[in-house]
Structure 1
Amino acid sequence: MPYQASIQRSTPTAFLFLVDQSGSMGDLMAASDKTKAQFVADVLNRTLMNLITRCSKPEGIRDYFQIGVIGYGGMGTCNGFQGPLGGSILHPISSIGANPLRIEERRKKVDDGAGGLIEQTVKFPIWFEPQADGGTPMCAALTQAAEELASWCDANPDSYPPTVLHVTDGESTDGDPEMVADTLRQFQTNDGNVLLLNLHVSAQAGNPIRFPAAEGGLPDQYSKLLFRMSSQLPQHLVSYAQGKGFSVSHESRGFMFNAEASEIVEFFDIGTRPSQMR
């Protein structure tokens, strides 16, 4: 069965985040004082911190994962990392851990042990900065992802396949992305094809659509396009999503539409759960 390879330092997997940075990502999230770009950046930075924690052992950070971020907007596509990480797209997780852009102090509410909440100051590493400008060159971003992962799959034939987590809030402005997405999903390791998961971020209050199994109930052609672009969820991700309370079947695809704040958090958490780590 595919998607069963164990994650080891000798056979790591890869997570590649594609983040829409077009002008409309500057709109405020529903019921929030943050823009979509700011909220996605916060969730992505927290996800990177959580991935580092999952790979941390007493002797240091084990390189179970290789991580990359591609942003796309008014300047075309760009490496989502800067500084020492800006020279290439994919990096071992230990390099991510060693090279945040900066460390911010943020306030967080925690349990005070007596049924109440108190605020604490916590360290919050920043790797990815929010941006919102220009159009939505989605085809260019997917093409760059395909180029990166074609080489990665050739170099790591026995690994769990890479996962692409794509966050967007609007339609492509550089052509029809479906064929490019189809090509991206065809790259494979011996354990299966590249997984492409798509999340549409909403600025409007509404009913999110989570992991649909068919396009028939989707509201428009754009949501149906993103559904067709998305991979079917492997069984271990189906089980993990069900454990988090989602109504998911073996026919479900890795797709959310009109996602609100909580769905963005869940999307990144579910999408970064490979089958086995050793």
Structure 2
Amino acid sequence: MLYQTQATQQTPAYIIYLLDVSASMNQMMDVEGEEKRRIDIVTDALSLAIRQMVFRSTKGSRLLPRYKLSILAYSDQVFDLLGGVKTIDEVARLRPLEKIQTHRLTDTAKAFSVVEKLLQKELPNLQDGPAPVVCHMTDGASTGEDPELIVRRIMNMSVPDGNVLIENIFISDEIMQEQITSIKKWEGIMPHTEITDEYGAKLQRLSSPIPQSYREMMTEYGFHIGDGAVMMFPGTNADLVSLGFQMSAATPVR
């Protein structure tokens, strides 16, 4: 069965975070009656996911490098917030999210082409480890070329554990007709779920199926993601954004 390889010190999980930092990320969202910028909700959620990775990588008093991360922010340019691939213990010291600034445009194709080159370089070192994850967060349509062909090429890249996993967190007001009344009981977005936003529907097609091992890990956190759901999360509120970032780090660990 695919996607069973555990993240260890010798074979760490590799996650690439790709964050849209276009001007619209300054728009406000309601968080329990308080207004917060979308970009701040995202950095809070990613910070929480990093803290969870630190927790899952700690053995006694030692922080083991069970995860490797790249954090890329993009508008019409792509910014490497970590200055290269870093292990989770290095990321914990760097505090990279304090430096995020918003810019003007959203060139998603350019951003994914940087991801593709990064994976081409890293894949030879990842053959014994878990399949890499690309977690893409955006709040709107790309202003550059269509990214679909590049994303498809990335989805076809693989290691023995399985193909590269693509996850999309789409921050918007509403993208589905069905209301999510309880995040803990929500089964996730299925391939047949009707997405009312055209770009959202494209991201749905460009999201990998959630591996069973990831669903089992999320069950331990009290979520009930259904069999067949894809790695796409509607970022209509802070809790859903946070769930999306938690999913990105749900690789089995030893």
TM-score range, shorter chain: 0.7 to 0.9
Deviation, structure 1 residue 245: 5.8
Q: Which moved more, 1:197-206 or 1:61-70?
A: 197-206
Q: Give distance in 2, aligned partners of 1:160 and 1:80.
A: 23
Q: Aligned match of 1:133 in 87, 91, 103?
A: 103
Deviation, structure 1 residue 23: 0.5
- Which structure shows the bigger proportion of residues in strand conformation? 1
Q: Is the 8 A contact 2:175 2:195 kept in 1?
A: no
Does 1:151 find its partner at 2:128? no
Superposed CA offset, 1:43-101 (max 9, x none): 21222122122212235211111011000014x111123xxxx2x2x111121123336
Deviation, structure 1 residue 248: 3.3
* 2:29 paired residue number: 29
Q: Is the 8 A contact 1:197 1:255 kept in 2?
A: yes
Distance 1:242-1:47 versus aligned 2 partners, 3 A rule? closer
* 2:80 paired residue number: 79
* 1:56 paired residue number: 58
Q: Is the 8 A contact 2:134 2:166 kept in 1?
A: yes
* 2:227 paired residue number: 250
Q: Is the 8 A contact 1:9 1:62 kept in 2?
A: yes
Superposed CA offset, 1:118-168 (max 9, x none): xxxxxxxxx443422201011111111111122222122111011111110
Distance 1:222-1:146 versus aligned 2 partners, 3 A rule? same
Does 1:19 find its partner at 2:14? no
* 1:9 paired residue number: 9
Amino acid at match of 1:10: Q
Q: Give distance in 2, aligned partners of 1:99 and 1:224.
A: 36
* 1:68 paired residue number: 70
Aligned length: 245
Amino acid at match of 1:191: D
Percent identity, aligned pairs only, is 23
Q: Which moved more, 1:185-194 or 1:239-248?
A: 239-248
**3-state DSSP of counterpart to 2:14:** strand
Q: Is the 8 A contact 1:215 1:224 kept in 2?
A: no
Q: Is the 8 A contact 1:230 1:255 kept in 2?
A: yes
Does 1:187 find its partner at 2:187? no
**3-state DSSP of counterpart to 1:239:** helix
Q: Which moved more, 1:27-36 or 1:202-211?
A: 202-211
Q: Give distance in 1, aligned partners of 2:236 and 2:117.
A: 28
Distance 1:210-1:41 versus aligned 2 partners, 3 A rule? farther
Q: Give distance in 2, aligned partners of 1:142 and 1:215.
A: 25
5+ residue gaps, structure 2: 181-185
5+ residue gaps, structure 1: 102-126
Deviation, structure 1 residue 231: 0.3
Q: Aligned match of 1:234 in 191, 211, 214?
A: 211
Q: Give distance in 2, aligned partners of 1:224 and 1:261.
A: 21
Could you state the TM-score of these two structures normalised by the residue count of structure 1? Answer: 0.80
Q: Give distance in 2, aligned partners of 1:248 and 1:39.
A: 22
Deviation, structure 1 residue 210: 6.8
* 1:262 paired residue number: 239
Q: Give distance in 2, aligned partners of 1:266 and 1:216.
A: 18
Q: Which moved more, 1:256-265 or 1:52-61?
A: 52-61
**3-state DSSP of counterpart to 2:92:** helix
Amino acid at match of 1:148: L
Larger Rg: 1
Q: Aligned match of 2:141 in 171, 187, 195?
A: 171
